[in-house]
Chain A
Amino acid sequence: GAVVSQHPSRVICKSGTSVKIECRSLDFQATTMFWYRQFPKKSLMLMATSNEGSKATYEQGVEKDKFLINHASLTLSTLTVTSAHPEDSSFYICSAKRGPGEKLFFGSGTQLSVL
């Protein structure tokens, strides 16, 4: 089956630094990838839709300059949390579909802890 790889799985950083999270579709091309955020004991909240070769579409309330998304190829999307603060600490999960109406394949997630 299709696999989505997400890296790193865990990162601890100091406040003010930037952190990049990578999401790769390993055996299919994904023109669209999705980034979710999950707080402890809460559900997944869609942050943005990453479109290959064009700008990402952000959900209401998500800061574009804070969460930079780059979808430079059909198999790679990156999320950069810029100038991270403790309130950015969360579980970030990427996902991709092989095609319309297909199930979403999820990465294993990145636990970000900002000190």
Chain B
Amino acid sequence: SQQGEEDPQALSIQEGENATMNCSYKTSINNLQWYRQNSGRGLVHLILIRSNEREKHSGRLRVTLDTSKKSSSLLITASRAADTASYFCATDAPQAGTALIFGKGTTLSVSS
């Protein structure tokens, strides 16, 4: 089963521009996490935002969470070619022992 829907599915930008990806989910959550995946590789954890948080920053990343709208956004500022990857949001339910449920992902292409 999949919880989240990312928007857009694909995004192409130039280096230096900002990239914004959105994620919507359906059920209550304990936290929401963003991951990055390069083609054919494993996942890299980017940032975790808890349900009682509204915004979080990590370097060039900014994540927002709106639990009333069941949505989150990931902003990558001053993008670089190396940011080219697929980005997934994943939700963690409040119940203990539950798995992360992933959204469909956004494929970001940053051209130099």
Instruction: Give A residues with C-beta under 8 Å from B.
Output: 31-32, 34, 36, 41-46, 49, 51, 59-60, 91, 93, 95, 100-101, 103-109, 111
Minimum CB–CB distance for A110 against chain B, Å: 10
Query: For A104, what are the chain B residues with a Cβ–Cβ distance below 8 Å?
Result: 33, 45, 90, 92, 99-100
Known contacts A34-B100, A103-B48; is A60 also within 8 Å of B1 by CB?
A: yes
- The total number of A-B Cβ pairs within 8 Å is 60
A111 touching B40 in the complex, CB below 8 Å, given contacts A32-B97, A49-B97: yes
Contact with A along B1-38 (1 / 0, CB 8 A): 11000000000000000000000000000110100000
Provided the pairs A43-B88, A104-B33 are in contact, do residues A109 and B42 lie with their beta carbons within 8 angstroms? yes
Q: How far is the CA of A62 from the CA of B90 in the complex (A)?
A: 20
Q: B100 contacts A109, CB within 8 Å? A: no
Apart from A101-B92, A103-B33, list 10 A-B contacts with CB within 8 A: A42-B105, A43-B102, A44-B43, A46-B1, A46-B102, A95-B99, A100-B97, A101-B31, A109-B41, A111-B40
**Per DSSP, are chain A's interface residues mostly helix, strand or loop, or mixed?**
strand
Q: Which residues of A contact B41 (CB under 8 A)?
A: 108-109
What is the minimal beta-carbon distance from B101 to any residue of chain A, in angstroms?
A: 7
Given known pairs A59-B1, A103-B48, the reply for A46 and B99 (CB within 8 Å) is yes
Residues of B within 8 A of A103 (CB): 33, 45, 48
A45/B42 in contact, CB under 8 A: no
Whole-angstrom CA separation of A111 from B1 in the bound complex: 21
State the CA gap A91–B42 with chains docked (Å). Answer: 9
| Contacting pair A108 B42 (CB below 8 A) | yes
Instruction: State the Cβ distance, A102 to closest chain B Cβ, in Å.
Output: 9
Q: Nearest 3 pairs between A and B by C-beta?
A: A108-B42, A100-B96, A34-B99
Min C-beta distance of B98 to chain A, whole Å: 8
- The interface bits of chain B over 41-73 (1 if a CB of A lies within 8 angstroms of the residue's CB, else 0) are 111010010000000000000000000000000
Residues on B with beta carbons closer than 8 Å to the beta carbon of A111: 40
Contacts of B101 in A (CB 8 A): 46
